[in-house]
Amino acid sequence: MGKSLHRNAEFYFVLEDTMDLKIDTFARNMELTDRVVEYVNKKVGKLGRHIPNVDETRVDLSYVKSARSATDRQVAQITIRGKGFILRVEERADDLFAAIDEAVDKMQRQIERYKGKHQRGRGDGISAADVAAEPVEMEETAENEAIARRKTFTLTPMDELEAIEQMKLLGHDEFFVFYNASTSAINVLYTRRDGSYGLIEPKLG
């Protein structure tokens, strides 16, 4: 079990081995104190008991000064990667520890959701897929009145078959945006009227 701290002007990160998970903790626009690292390891480390075969656990903490509301300034994002899956959640609060707590609770629900869908999916020939977190809604409203809401998504590289599996697991019936690892481009997978799938490959004109 060991810990190392790295830093520059705005970015800090700690690599920590715990009894449950190997946790990489990163911080932006804030100092990563021992108290915060210990809290992350205590809270996030317990998640390893609920999901096996984890290769990487990453925690990203940040302070967003420009957030419209004070309750959105402290951000905690957790990403868990393993063989055949990626789980990611993000929560915001006015207190960093509260944001961490909420992110851990949300990740626990995400793990249970993934495990449940994976178990049910086995009977239908669906294998484990890269399960992304719920989309992070960065802006509630837009400056342009024609656009009612903006959302920002974290895209994970995957192939077309993995995109289909993830689309099924997440229950996205109409379309699914993903980063195609084979072509290094953003694609849109959609369901056709006959139940088959179509793929949109945007190109700049």
pLDDT digit string (tens) for 47-58? Answer: 888 787 888 899
Question: In terms of domains, do 202 and 167 share one?
Answer: yes
Question: In terms of domains, do 102 and 12 share one?
Answer: yes
In a domain, 29, yes or no: yes
In a domain, 149, yes or no: no
Q: Integer distance in angstroms from the first to the last C-alpha of the chain?
A: 53
- Segment holding 45, helix H or strand E: helix 34-45
Question: In terms of domains, do 26 and 116 share one?
Answer: yes
Cα–Cα distance, 106 to 31 (Å, whole number) = 24
Query: In this structure, what CATH number is given to the domain that contains residue 29?
Result: 3.30.160.100
Question: In terms of domains, do 41 and 91 share one?
Answer: yes
pLDDT given at position 69 = 85
Cα–Cα distance, 191 to 164 (Å, whole number) = 10
pLDDT in tens, 158-182: 888 888 877 776 666 788 898 898 8
Range of the domain at 200: 155-205
Judge if pTM exceeds 0.85.
Answer: no
pLDDT given at position 134 = 42
Query: In this structure, what CATH number is given to the domain that contains residue 200?
Result: 3.30.505.50
Q: How far is CA 121 from CA 124, 128, 166, 168, in A?
A: 5, 8, 11, 9
Q: What is the mean pLDDT of the chain?
A: 76
Q: Count the alpha carbons within 13 Å of 155 in the hemisphere toward its beta carbon.
A: 17
In a domain, 150, yes or no: no
Has residue 37 got a pLDDT over 90? yes
In a domain, 49, yes or no: yes
Cα–Cα distance, 39 to 127 (Å, whole number) = 34
Domain count for the chain: 2
In a domain, 27, yes or no: yes
Q: How far is CA 32 from CA 18, 103, 110, 149, 165, in A?
A: 17, 18, 26, 33, 37
Has residue 140 got a pLDDT over 90? no
Question: In terms of domains, do 197 and 115 share one?
Answer: no
